[in-house]
Chain A
Amino acid sequence: MKGSVATKIRGGIVLLQQTTRKDQSMKHMYSIKNGYGRQAAKSLRSHWQLYLLVIPPLLFFLIFKYVPMVNAVLAFKDYNVVAGIWGSPWVGLKYFRMFFENPIFWTLVKNTLLLSFYQLLAGFPIPILLALMLNEIRNGRFKRFIQLVTFAPYFISTVVMVSMIMLFLAPRLGFVNIALQSIGLEPVNFLGEPDMFRSIYVWSDIWQTAGYAAVIYLAALAGIDPTLYEAAKVDGASRFQKIWHVDLPGILPTITIILILNVGNIMSIGFEKIYLLQNSLNLPKSEVIATYVYSMGLLNANYSFATAVGLLNSVINLILLVAVNSFAKRISNNSIW
């Protein structure tokens, strides 16, 4: 029954499509017949079902996204479970001051920023290089196989990813240390070395996401005007010159957008993986703002303080994104809004 209704409608539509296209006045008559001056009232009346549809999703955003934004006033209050958020006394900037004066403040900012910049510097160019190289491959099967394989780790969960890192880098049983020993080197306790933490984090991330990130650049490369390549060929350009003068400029808008998004996220480097990789030995380098908020807020129940730290982070993030976006707009006319 359901199918027949659909076909019926589709069948009728084809007919009507032709009539409406030919006779635009029909559309006009229709709206005049309804005759509502005010756009909103008309929309609401004739599309009340659409408005009904969006209510549940909007409630979701209201309750789980906007109420927490309002709840963030907690940062300026002394949270008291009995009094609730609104009954708790105002304390102004007490918790922000507390955070700034805490010696851990600079460590957290430094750890967060260094990890992010390392991630950006190493993780941003690699997918571009991968895409450019894949684009040169003419053997379709080899190309498809590489894409299939490099995309796959994207589907591995954070927990499994960290599990794999821990198994591979284990001091005694991990294959990396077994390999090191077999060539006569001393085994290394990788996860216990604070200095190793950033590299482990960043390179495992590249392993996991480079193939995924390359897809977007490959699509951009496929969209480059073929006549440009013809012209390059006529001019006798080498492969490298073609990559440099046609491919790269062709995907520059895409690169800019992705860069803006990455820079905008610099303060919000993922909690999930860092938290799992943390241990008491690497904590001096692995404690970042997000993990600190978690341990202060949920483990130590220091709600107001953790909210203040989180809020500060969100605000800096927003400012960064807006700044980078307007900067990119000015220099290259590419922006995300």
Chain B
Amino acid sequence: MAISSTVPKRKIQESAGDKILIFAIYVILSLVLVAVLYPLIYIVSSSISSPAAVVSGKVWLWPVDISFRGFQTIFKTPLIMTGYGNSLIYMAAGTVISVTLTVMLAYPLSRKTFFGRQGILMLVMFTMLFSGGLIPTYLVVKELGMIDSRLALLIPNAIWVWQVIIARSFFQSTIPGELVEASEIDGCSDWRFLRSVVIPLSKPILAVLVLMYAVGQWNSYFDALIYLKSDNLYPLQLVLRSIIIQNNSGGAMDISVQVQRAQLAELLKYSLIVVATLPVLIIYPFVQRYFVQGMLVGSVKG
């Protein structure tokens, strides 16, 4: 992410106009920083405050009367825990399937001797421009008997064209043609070359693919919304939607006192947001550069 400055530091005194401009930029960027950070801090602070403090609006920046009631309730609610488990399954299985299929397509497309690669590439890219639409796709999934099965979340959107494009341009630019020719002379098969040379040399792009598919799978809800019916298959995102957006408490609370119940329901929403987002946000600072890399590799035309 760090893109170093291309201009050497000025030695001469800056003009007044320049000083004003740079001051304004610092002020604006600081405001942007606050605007982005505040909601995030507010959510985390609320999630570890006491139910009463959350409801009465006492929390405005830091936690008030720290309590972990929200998290305790989450871990005692079967619906939420099932959703969490499901999401982990979908993320793990989906990522394996997606990355495998993407490499299987992107690698041959990166080989110059692979006859027909332009045609295949166009066929694949056209699906970015035009689609049959929601209902025709739904009918295909239905025909295949995938409705209300875990496969519906793993297969119908397994390959993202964008990922194929970035993986292909990575292979093209990092695996030299001479390497392929040399291995061919050595009698190394394409399959073995992919397994023992390309894959070990492509760890950076594999990291990009794994992360993007994993985050995408963890965050998605649409396929689950249209293809799943039984709530024991629901991923966490659908459970969140039901509890926070549709305001169903999901059998999360067995407290009989009405007021406490309402307060806890409110707190639960904040805690749920934290629980659902934390896995992604914790690894994010360490993997950010891979995402940036992925975006920039993809922006190379051709």
Q: Which residues of A contact B (CB under 8 A)?
A: 2, 5-6, 9-10, 12-13, 16-17, 20-21, 27, 30, 39-40, 42-44, 46-47, 49-51, 53-54, 56-58, 60-61, 63-72, 74, 85, 130, 133-138, 140, 142-153, 155-160, 162-164, 166-168, 173, 175, 178, 207, 211, 215-216, 218-219, 221-222, 224, 226, 229, 233, 238-240, 254, 271-272, 276, 293-294, 297-298, 303, 306-307, 310-311, 313-315, 317-318, 321, 336
Contact = CB atoms under 8 A, between A and B. Distances in A.
A156 B277 contact: yes
A336 B127 CA distance: 15
Interface of B: 1-7, 9-10, 14-15, 17-18, 21-22, 25-26, 28-29, 32-33, 35-37, 39-40, 42-43, 54-55, 57, 60, 101-102, 104-105, 107-109, 111, 113-116, 120, 123-124, 127, 129-141, 144, 155-159, 164, 176, 178-179, 181-186, 188-197, 200, 215, 218-222, 226, 237-238, 240-241, 244-245, 266, 269-270, 272-273, 276-277, 280-281, 284-285, 288, 291-292, 295-296, 299, 301
A206 B285 CA distance: 21
Contacts of A70: 132, 136
Contact of A21 (B2, B35, B178, B238): B178
Contacts of A21: 178
Contacts of A147: 1-2
Contact of B3 (A60, A152, A222): A222
Given A72-B133, A160-B240, A160-B276, A148 B295 contact: no
Question: Which of A56, A156, A158: most chain B Cβ within 10 A?
Answer: A156
A209 to B, nearest CB: 11
Contacts of B132: 65, 67-72, 311, 314
A294 B134 CA distance: 8
Given A65-B132, A68-B137, A238-B15, A49 B190 contact: yes
B296 A216 contact: yes
Contact of B240 (A53, A155, A159, A317): A159
Contacts of A272: 221-222
B133 A61 contact: no
Contacts of B158: 60
A161 to B, nearest CB: 10
Contacts of B136: 67-72, 74, 307, 310
B191 A49 contact: yes
A142 B29 CA distance: 10
B35 A307 contact: no
A13 B285 contact: no
Contacts of B185: 16, 30
Nearest to B266: A173
15 contacts: A6-B200, A17-B176, A17-B178, A56-B101, A61-B127, A137-B25, A145-B33, A146-B29, A159-B244, A159-B245, A178-B57, A215-B292, A238-B21, A307-B133, A315-B130
Question: What are the 10 tightest A-B residue pairs by CB atom distance, in nearest-first order?
Answer: A68-B132, A310-B133, A157-B219, A43-B115, A71-B136, A57-B105, A16-B182, A68-B136, A50-B108, A163-B244
A323 B148 CA distance: 40
A311 B136 CA distance: 10
Given A6-B197, A294-B134, A49 B266 contact: no
Given A60-B158, A150-B32, A298-B226, A2 B196 contact: yes
Given A5-B196, A9-B196, A159-B241, A50 B5 contact: no
Contact of A56 (B104, B184, B299): B104
A226 B8 CA distance: 9
Given A166-B244, A173-B57, A134 B108 contact: no
B197 A137 contact: no
A298 B134 contact: yes
A57 B130 contact: no
A7 to B, nearest CB: 9
Contact of A318 (B101, B129, B137): B129
B18 to A, nearest CB: 4
Nearest to B5: A138
Contact of A173 (B55, B113, B137, B182): B55
Contacts of A168: 39, 42
B134 A310 contact: yes
A163 B247 CA distance: 10
Question: Which of A20, A151, A239: most chain B Cβ within 10 A?
Answer: A239
Contacts of B2: 140, 143-144, 147
Contacts of A159: 219, 221, 237-238, 240-241, 244-245, 276
B15 A175 contact: no
A113 B120 CA distance: 34
Given A27-B181, A297-B135, A229 B6 contact: yes
A328 B299 CA distance: 18
B295 to A, nearest CB: 6
Contacts of A135: 5
A233 B9 CA distance: 11
A219 B134 contact: no
Contacts of A12: 182-183, 186
A49 B180 CA distance: 14
Contacts of B182: 12-13, 16-17, 20
A43 B197 contact: no
B4 A61 contact: no
A163 B190 contact: no
Contacts of B17: 238-240
Contacts of A148: 1, 285, 288
B131 A69 contact: yes
